[in-house]
């Protein structure tokens, strides 16, 4: 599968995003030839965590959320990490950005605690998805159908549970993103 010509957005919290849940999908998109934009609350650098508590790596943020719109991208990746996901879902701008991907019927990939942001965006109602097991009740209370599976795809939403699911999650997001119409192609048809 190739993502050549695809512009993918990936979110990262200023601190607390789970490192492998950011790094591995990021690398999968780049390996598949996609263009990637790292987005956070503001520009600068973001520090990730491992297992929520141990320091991870530092990554450069390409764009602040106030400087981007869903229309500029073909798909979105939301990494997890309890701390990072909580910071992302607390931002009304991040939540609006995520909501716009669903309104535009663009694919979104979310892993671990990232569905918290989907819940805030009103995007889980009547959808089948998975997540880290501790947020199952949150998903069900928001109208989602939670399942304990490695990777789940429902109407362009790709979800997985934990870092151990990353190989399947990354393969599936590349597959789904490759099959989606690019923003450039959509614009040329308008």
Q: For residue 75, how far is the Cα from the chain centroid?
A: 9
Beta bridge mates, 78: 110
Beta bridge mates, 159: 110, 152
DSSP secondary structure, 135-168, as one string: GHHHHHHTT-EE---SEEEETTEEEE-SGGGHHH
Check pLDDT > 80 for residue 187: no
- Token couple for 174: 């590349």
Check residue 182 and give its pLDDT. Answer: 67
Check residue 184 and give its pLDDT. Answer: 55
**Where do the DSSP E strands lie in 41-111?**
44-50, 54-61, 63-64, 75-78, 108-111
The span from the CA of 9 to the CA of 173, in Å, is: 13
Mean pLDDT of 35-61: 94
Report phi then psi at 33, rounded to 5: 90, 10
Of 3 and 56, the structure prediction assigns the larger pLDDT to 3
Check residue 52 and give its pLDDT. Answer: 82
Check residue 183 and give its pLDDT. Answer: 60
Check pLDDT > 70 for residue 43: yes
Per-residue pLDDT reduced to its tens digit, 69-107 = 999 999 999 999 999 999 999 999 999 999 999 999 999
Residue 22: CB atoms within 10 A of its CB come to: 28
Q: What is the mean pLDDT of the chain?
A: 94
Compute CA distances 27 → 10, 38, 166, 180, whole Å: 11, 12, 11, 19
Spell out the domain ranges in the chain: 7-183
Check residue 180 and give its pLDDT. Answer: 81
Mean pLDDT of 132-136: 97
Mean pLDDT of 10-32: 97
Catalytically annotated residues: 112-113
7-183 has which CATH code? 3.40.50.880
Furthest C-alpha separation in the chain: 48
């Amino acid at each position: 599968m190739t993502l050549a010509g695809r512009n993918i957005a990936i979110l990262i919290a200023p601190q607390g995003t789970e490192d492998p849940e950011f790094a591995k999908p990021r690398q999968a998109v780049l390996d598949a030839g996609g263009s990637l934009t790292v987005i956070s609350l503001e520009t600068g650098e973001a520090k990730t965590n491992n297992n929520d508590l141990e320091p991870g790596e530092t990554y450069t943020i390409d764009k602040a959320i106030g400087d981007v719109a869903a229309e500029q991208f073909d798909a979105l990746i939301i990494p997890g990490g309890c701390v990072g996901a909580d910071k992302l879902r607390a931002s009304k701008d991040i939540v609006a950005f995520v909501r716009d991907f669903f309104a535009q019927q663009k694919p979104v990939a979310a892993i671990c605690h990232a569905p918290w942001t989907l819940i805030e965006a009103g995007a889980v109602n009547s959808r089948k998805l998975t997540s880290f097991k501790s947020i199952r009740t949150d998903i069900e209370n928001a109208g989602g159908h939670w399942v304990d599976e490695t990777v789940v795809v429902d109407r362009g939403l790709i979800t997985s549970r934990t870092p151990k699911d990353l190989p399947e999650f990354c393969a599936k997001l590349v597959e789904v993103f490759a099959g989606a119409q690019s923003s450039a192609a959509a614009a040329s048809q308008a």
